[in-house]
């Protein structure tokens, strides 16, 4: 019987993640997941693909605040988990890949804190509930599904057996955090998540819509904030290359709201045709 073994959220896109015992499934991803974003002076998103040192920023939930600590500098900043923006002068347009999204600059204090620690000009922004970012219509279920500042889809699931299969081929094993899933499950077959269409985690329904294409970001050591070599991407490309895309994990769309918990049973209802 397959079980949900890990739940992860990444409040600020491309920064560290937070492991949870339970999480609320919203209409655009897990609550708090990728609702904040660092952007450059042009409003373009920052990513570990170009800035691996972003991995050194570690978030944690501290009461009503999100506390972000720099792993090496050991200083931190706190920002409200539910910010309220009354002044629309802080509203800006930001871009994530080809999407333009309305967002709000969190505060001048946050902007200065991140700018000082990264050594170049950045802004921390937040996606309010009023902002919409539709998923790719080619993979949408109703056409109304939204996501947050994630790369493209609101959820990502990976089987522990899939990582075990990969690590069996590597000289140096890698942890699951290289792949930044929201959900990890146990007791399944390697890569079986690729085949799922409709399934439930506990009582919450999901649809598997598209395998996740992997990039150089998987080579970033999340503890050190540096590129550690060509693996695991090189090894994955030798046996998980489909149409010039290296695939690992399954992108999901949720079909309802609700709470998921570590230990929930994962039940597959139908498979892709």
Residue 236 structural domain: 3-29+136-268
pLDDT per residue, tens digit, the chain (273 aa), is: 999 999 999 999 999 999 999 999 999 999 999 999 999 999 999 999 999 999 999 999 999 999 999 999 989 999 999 998 877 778 999 999 999 999 999 999 999 999 999 999 999 999 999 999 999 999 999 999 999 999 999 999 999 999 999 999 999 999 999 999 999 999 999 999 999 999 999 999 999 999 999 999 999 999 999 999 999 999 999 999 999 999 999 999 999 999 999 999 999 999 999
Whether residues 14 and 44 fall in one domain: no
Residue 131 domain flag: no
Whether residues 10 and 142 fall in one domain: yes
In the listed set 126, 160, 176, which residue is the last one of a domain according to the structure? 126
In the listed set 83, 103, 126, which residue is the last one of a domain according to the structure? 126
Q: What is the CATH number of the domain that holds 259?
A: 2.40.33.20
Residue 273 domain flag: no
Query: How many domains are there within the chain?
Result: 2
| Sequence-separated contacts (24+) of 127-132 with Cβ below 8 Å | 127/35, 127/36, 127/37, 127/101, 127/102, 127/103, 128/85, 128/102, 128/103, 128/104, 130/102, 131/101, 131/102, 131/103
Closest to 35 (Cα-Cα) out of 123, 122, 112, 103: 103
Whether residues 173 and 257 fall in one domain: yes
Whether residues 155 and 75 fall in one domain: no
Dmax over Cα atoms in the chain, in whole Å?
A: 53
Which single residue is written with the structure tokens 């629309």? 88
Whether residues 104 and 159 fall in one domain: no
In the listed set 126, 158, 182, which residue is the last one of a domain according to the structure? 126
The tokens for 32 are 């708090």
Whether residues 62 and 117 fall in one domain: yes
């Amino acid at each position: 019987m397959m079980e949900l073994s890990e739940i992860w959220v990444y409040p600020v896109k491309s920064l560290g993640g937070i492991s949870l015992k339970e999480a609320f499934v919203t209409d655009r991803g897990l609550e708090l997941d990728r609702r904040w974003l660092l952007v450059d002076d042009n409003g373009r998103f920052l990513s570990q693909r170009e800035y691996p040192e972003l991995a050194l920023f570690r978030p944690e939930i501290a009461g009503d605040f999100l506390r972000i600590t720099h792993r090496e500098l050991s200083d931190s900043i706190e920002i409200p988990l539910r910010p309220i923006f009354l002044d629309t002068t802080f509203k800006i347009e930001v871009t994530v890949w080809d999407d333009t999204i309305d967002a709000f600059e969190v505060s001048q204090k946050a902007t200065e804190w991140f700018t000082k620690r990264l050594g170049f000009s950045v802004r921390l922004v937040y996606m309010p509930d009023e902002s919409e970012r539709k998923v790719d219509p080619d993979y949408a279920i109703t056409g109304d599904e939204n996501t947050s500042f994630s790369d493209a889809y609101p959820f990502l699931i990976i089987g522990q057996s899939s990582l075990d299969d990969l690590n069996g081929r590597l000289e140096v094993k890698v942890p699951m955090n290289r792949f930044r899933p929201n959900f990890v499950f146990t007791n399944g077959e390697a890569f079986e998540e690729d085949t799922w269409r409709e399934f439930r985690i506990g009582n919450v329904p999901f649809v598997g819509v598209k395998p996740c294409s992997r990039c150089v970001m998987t080579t970033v050591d999340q503890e050190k904030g540096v590129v550690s070599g060509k693996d695991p991407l090189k090894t994955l490309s030798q046996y998980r290359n489909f149409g010039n895309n290296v695939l690992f994990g399954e992108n999901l769309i949720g079909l309802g709201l609700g709470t998921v918990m570590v230990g929930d049973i994962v039940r597959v209802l139908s498979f892709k045709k």
